[in-house]
């Protein structure tokens, strides 16, 4: 293939209790990218959106991920990438991860699938490092592996794809920007043992709930006593959204990644739609612009298909 189309899915990192280790790919929204091999080496980037993201590959999340891939290839190749971002940067929906993981997934197909998924995660993490100052794979892994993933370790990489029962995901994105780097800086460096115990009980419970398709256990485990109490102050309406969505029948939910988006899981579509209505009412009353999505977990993750050259 000489040219590919890439649908780079959004993702919800942390899944409430699993800071930096759990994540899930969403069917919607997704960035649209095209990528082609060029005759001369080097990486060129064009944006079709209006976010004004850097074009210099060294300063662009997709660019640095591709530079890491090319370095390992030890062969002179060039790529041209066109990006149309439909996942707004700073939304908490894995926008930087979609660009970085989408680019390396596309490059891999153009190169005849020479790299493993694990390699691609390693390259794409360079994009996350550029975006937030820290390598984390909880948005990248679900994009590249699909569905829900556990990043047990990043050094060495140990990623486990989890099975999960049918679920609907409702997301509200209040139109304020929260930079992941800022949302990480406000976190405390130390946690109390009692909080750590509660948190790892919840992570184990959530993973078990997904694997055993136990909705009640999933709901009980969607609790975060470490990160949410600090970060939620950055999100107007957060407490209300949680309370009213749970009252409307959601299993549970919380901050999507580093925010400001909030996600809720529901068993049935009609509940997911009721949850969306609650979210709409809350942000309309607050006078804050917002965007909502009612979507599913994307089982396949990032999609790469041949494009007409
Ligand atoms: N785990 C990361 C964080 C995800 O919460 O900072 C960022 O999208």
Q: Are residues 72 and 147 both part of a single domain? A: yes
CA distance from start to end of the chain: 9
The CATH code of the domain that includes 125 is 3.30.230.10
Q: Are 28 and 293 in contact (CB under 8 A)?
A: yes
Q: Are residues 227 and 125 both part of a single domain? A: no
Q: Are residues 15 and 159 both part of a single domain? A: yes
pLDDT digits (tens, 9 = 90+) for 22-34: 999 999 999 999 9
Atom of ligand 1 nearest to the CA of 256: 8
Pocket flag, ligand 1, residue 14 (CB < 6 Å): yes
Q: What is the pLDDT of residue 151?
A: 98
pLDDT digits (tens, 9 = 90+) for 183-226: 999 999 999 999 999 999 999 999 999 999 999 999 999 999 99
- Which pTM was predicted? 0.96
The reply to whether omega before 29 is within 30° of 0 (cis) is yes
pLDDT digits (tens, 9 = 90+) for 243-295: 999 999 999 999 999 999 999 999 999 999 999 999 999 999 999 999 999 99
Ligand 1 mutation target, pool 10, 12, 13, 90, most atoms within 8 A of CB: 13
Residues catalogued as catalytic: 128, 180
Q: Are residues 206 and 289 both part of a single domain? A: yes
Domain with 191, as residue range(s), is: 168-296
CA of residue 52 to ligand 1 center, whole Å? 23
How many residues in total does the chain contain? 309
Q: Are residues 138 and 247 both part of a single domain? A: no
Q: Are residues 113 and 45 both part of a single domain? A: yes
Q: Are residues 152 and 24 both part of a single domain? A: yes
Ligand 1 mutation target, pool 127, 257, 259, 261, most atoms within 8 A of CB: 257
Does residue 309 surpass a pLDDT of 80? Answer: no
Q: Are residues 175 and 157 both part of a single domain? A: no
Residue 51's DSSP bridge partners are: none
Q: Are residues 155 and 247 both part of a single domain? A: no
pLDDT digits (tens, 9 = 90+) for 54-64: 999 999 999 99
Please state, in angstroms and rounded to a whole number, the distance separating the CA atoms of residues 248 and 274. 6
Based on DSSP, count helices (H) and strands (E) in the chain, helices before strands: 10, 11
Q: Are residues 27 and 126 both part of a single domain? A: yes
Q: Are 41 and 77 in contact (CB under 8 A)?
A: yes
Pocket flag, ligand 1, residue 20 (CB < 6 Å): yes
Q: Are residues 14 and 158 both part of a single domain? A: yes
Q: Whose CA is nearest to atom 4 of ligand 1?
A: 257
Q: Are residues 287 and 206 both part of a single domain? A: yes
Does residue 1 surpass a pLDDT of 80? Answer: no
pLDDT digits (tens, 9 = 90+) for 153-185: 999 999 999 999 999 999 999 999 888 889 999
Q: What is the pLDDT of residue 264?
A: 98
Q: What percent of the chain has pLDDT over 70?
A: 100
- Tally the domains of the chain: 2
The CATH code of the domain that includes 283 is 3.30.70.890
Does residue 75 surpass a pLDDT of 90? Answer: no
CA of residue 257 to ligand 1 center, whole Å? 4
Q: What is the pLDDT of residue 39?
A: 87
């Amino acid at each position: 293939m000489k040219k590919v189309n890439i649908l780079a899915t959004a993702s919800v990192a942390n899944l409430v209790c699993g800071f930096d280790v759990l994540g899930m790919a969403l069917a919607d929204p997704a960035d649209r990218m095209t990528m082609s091999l060029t005759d001369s080496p080097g990486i060129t980037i064009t944006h079709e959106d209006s976010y004004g993201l850097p074009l210099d590959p060294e300063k662009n999340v997709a660019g640095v991920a591709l530079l890491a891939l090319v370095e390992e290839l030890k062969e002179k190749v060039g790529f041209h990438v066109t990006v149309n971002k439909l996942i707004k940067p700073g939304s908490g929906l894995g926008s930087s991860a979609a660009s970085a993981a989408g680019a390396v997934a596309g490059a891999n197909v153009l190169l005849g699938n020479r790299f493993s998924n694990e390699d691609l995660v390693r390259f794409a993490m360079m994009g996350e490092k550029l975006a937030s100052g820290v390598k984390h794979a909880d948005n990248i892994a679900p994009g590249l592996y699909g569905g829900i993933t556990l990043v047990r370790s990043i050094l060495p990489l140990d990623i486990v794809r989890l099975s999960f029962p049918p679920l609907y995901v409702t997301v509200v994105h209040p139109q304020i920007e929260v930079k992941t780097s800022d949302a990480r800086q406000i976190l405390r460096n130390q946690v109390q043992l009692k909080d750590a115990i509660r948190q790892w009980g919840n992570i184990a419970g959530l993973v078990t709930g997904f694997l055993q398709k136990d909705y009640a256990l999933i709901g009980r485990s969607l609790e975060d006593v470490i990160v949410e109490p600090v970060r939620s102050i950055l999100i107007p309406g957060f407490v209300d959204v949680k309370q009213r969505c749970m009252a409307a029948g959601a299993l549970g939910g919380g901050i999507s990644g580093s925010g400001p988006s909030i996600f809720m899981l529901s068993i049935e579509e009609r509940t997911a739609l009721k949850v969306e209505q609650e979210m709409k009412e809350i942000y309309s009353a607050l006078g804050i612009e917002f965007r909502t999505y009612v979507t599913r977990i994307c089982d396949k993750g990032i999609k790469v298909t041949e494009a007409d050259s």
